[in-house]
Amino acid sequence: MSLGLAEAGILAPGRLRAQSDEATPNVLFGVRLEPFVDPLFVPPVRRPDSVVGGTPHYSITLSEFPQKVHRDLPPAVVWGFDGMTPGPLLVAERGQQIVVEWLNRLPTRHRLRVDHTLDGAGTGVPEVRSVIHLHGAHVSAENDGYPEDWITPGQKQQTIYSNRQPAATLWYHDHAMGITRLNAMMGLAGPYLIHDPEEDRLNLPSGAYDVPLVIQDRIFDGRGQIVYPVGADPEAPWVPEFFGTQFLVNGRVSPYFNVEPRRYRFRFLNASNSRVLQLSLVPEQGFLQIASDGGLLREPVKRGELWIAPSERIDAVVDFGGREGRRLMLVNHAPAPYPTGGGPVPGLVMEFRVASPLRETADPSRIPDQLVQVPRLQEKQAVKTRRLLLLEQMAGKGLPHRLTLDGHRFMDPVTEDPVNGTVEIWELVNTTIDAHPIHLHTIHFQLLERRAFDVRRYKATSEVVWSRPAIAAAPEERGWKDTIICPPGQATRIIIPFRGEPGRFVWHCHMLEHEDNEMMRPFVLRS
């Protein structure tokens, strides 16, 4: 799919106009906004409120407030942390535990329509609930933010994050049963970094040159408010996917960022509900990918395009050296739903302006050829292989789809129960037509390979028969992962070292609409 600049609004500067979105059954009106008029907001580093016995303590408030997202719009009513969305940047050192108290001061009525027919979101439970999960963290079950461990306005959630894992880009977000998509849409997400001496020694771009970019798609109405679609049935307003018409980067619509002619490390996080991103720079300029979800790769990987599914993180270095005076646009050209949909494609994500003078005489950062050791797990280490199907089901005549993991619903008895300390292979067989980003809590895994199977035959006989040779993991996917994109018609084979504290966690699709409607399962780490 190609990028239409006129379509994306670049040829109609300064004008606000209604735009209908024919790709979704319910006609939505969103405003068209001039891109690159607001500066990038960089989430500030959150300082601890106190340090008790060497442990930093944070008390972070979830609340509703107005936030200016674009020059030409009145402030949007959003939900966030400490008065901002995305929330402030939490920074931890490897091995240094921190305590975070999440204080729910949200209103008691949701701003978006709750679907009370979804499991866990019935009329018997409060409409506004929150539970914060630190995505990508190795944690114990009681600190993980289990979907049913929600609290209500006025209550607080106490969490301990041990940070016993390598330097990486993590993020915190709401995970409340049946309403995660709505809470995330309102803004309950924020970035979290772990540093370690091994990474510090490499002298990668740091400080002001290490910038989180939280990318989300949204629809705003003419009054500047967040619009979320509802399905045809007023009793069951759930929609199977959300695709917005504007990009937010760090909570601002398609902002610009003044950069120096030197290297930057950008921590790309796709925090969209459903949208897969395929990002590139225009005019053409490459990325050097240095990390994935779980931390640094073994060696940097040159990439012309970054493919990021919801909740995946990619750390990439961009070198603006020698580009003084230039402007580079970050554009998206992934169809939605991915990969075969024809949904709206907002193209313009943000703009880099190489407009600031070098603060130091030369760029002191380096990108070594070797970053860290990443041992590759071997198939023979696995004690068990589980074949798990990604399935789409009709919920009944005229009712929207439901997606499931291996045909089970969230409330069904646990079927995935790995023994702590063992390695397993999970074959995620995607029988649907969309790609799904599958995420496991509390551990990191590695991609072994992907392999196409005969979908027609599967539909007829329920057998999985390979139709092509397996494709080994590409270099950029050979690091530690916690979320893996599972393309349609393929089995995505991952190898998982289960080690941590025994307890009950979840695994799920990170398209939040799917997650909220049964595409989430518990797993028990057994001792």
Q: Which residues bind ligand C2O (CB under 6 A)?
A: 133, 135, 173, 175, 311, 439, 441, 506, 508, 510
The closest of 172, 119, 121, 166 to 143, measured between CA atoms, is 172
Nearest-approach distance from CB 89 to ligand C2O, in angstroms = 17
**CB-nearer residue toward ligand C2O: 147 or 400:** 147
The site partner of 138 among ligand C2O, Cu ion, none (C-beta below 5 to 8 Å per kind) is: none
Residue 475 has φ and ψ, to the nearest 5°, of -50, -40
Nearest-approach distance from CB 514 to Cu ion, in angstroms = 3
The closest of 59, 46, 41 to 88, measured between CA atoms, is 46
**CB-nearer residue toward ligand C2O: 311 or 446:** 311
**CB-nearer residue toward Cu ion: 90 or 485:** 485
Q: Could you give the 3-state DSSP secondary structure of residue 124?
A: coil
Nearest-approach distance from CB 126 to Cu ion, in angstroms = 27
Strands of 246-249's sheet, edge to edge? 252-253, 246-249, 210-218, 263-270, 313-319, 287-292, 295-303
User: Is residue 436 near Cu ion by the rule CB under 5 A?
Assistant: yes
Distance CA 139, CA 418 (A): 16
Distance CA 287, CA 267 (A): 12
User: Is residue 439 near Cu ion by the rule CB under 5 A?
Assistant: no
**CB-nearer residue toward Cu ion: 165 or 430:** 430
Distance CA 169, CA 195 (A): 9
Residue 225 has φ and ψ, to the nearest 5°, of -100, 150
Three-state SS sequence of 467-527 = CCCCEECCHHHCCCECEEEECCCEEEEEEEECCCCCEEEEEEECCHHHHHCCCEEEEEEEC
**CB-nearer residue toward Cu ion: 256 or 426:** 426
Nearest-approach distance from CB 425 to Cu ion, in angstroms = 21
The site partner of 509 among ligand C2O, Cu ion, none (C-beta below 5 to 8 Å per kind) is: Cu ion
Distance CA 26, CA 43 (A): 34
Count of residues of this chain found to bind Cu ion when the rule CB under 5 A is applied: 5
The site partner of 511 among ligand C2O, Cu ion, none (C-beta below 5 to 8 Å per kind) is: Cu ion
- Footprint of Cu ion on 462-481 (CB under 5 A): none
**CB-nearer residue toward ligand C2O: 176 or 382:** 176
Residue closest to ligand C2O (Cβ): 135
User: Is residue 46 near Cu ion by the rule CB under 5 A?
Assistant: no
Distance CA 305, CA 227 (A): 30
**What x/- string results for residues 481 through 520 when contact with Cu ion is judged by CB under 5 A?**
----------------------------x-x--x----x-
The site partner of 436 among ligand C2O, Cu ion, none (C-beta below 5 to 8 Å per kind) is: Cu ion
Pick the stretch among 11-19, 100-108, 429-437, 496-504 that binds Cu ion (CB under 5 A).
429-437
Nearest-approach distance from CB 508 to Cu ion, in angstroms = 8
The closest of 135, 248, 140 to 483, measured between CA atoms, is 135
DSSP 39-77: BPP-PPBPPPSEEETTEEEEEEEEEEEEE--STTSPPEE
**CB-nearer residue toward ligand C2O: 32 or 175:** 175
**CB-nearer residue toward Cu ion: 85 or 272:** 272
Nearest-approach distance from CB 512 to ligand C2O, in angstroms = 9
DSSP 412-466: SPP-B-PBTT-EEEEEEEE-SSS-EEEEESS--BEEEEEEEB-HHHHHHH----B
Nearest-approach distance from CB 190 to ligand C2O, in angstroms = 12
- Footprint of Cu ion on 398-427 (CB under 5 A): none
Nearest-approach distance from CB 519 to Cu ion, in angstroms = 5
Q: Which residues bind Cu ion (CB under 5 A)?
A: 436, 509, 511, 514, 519
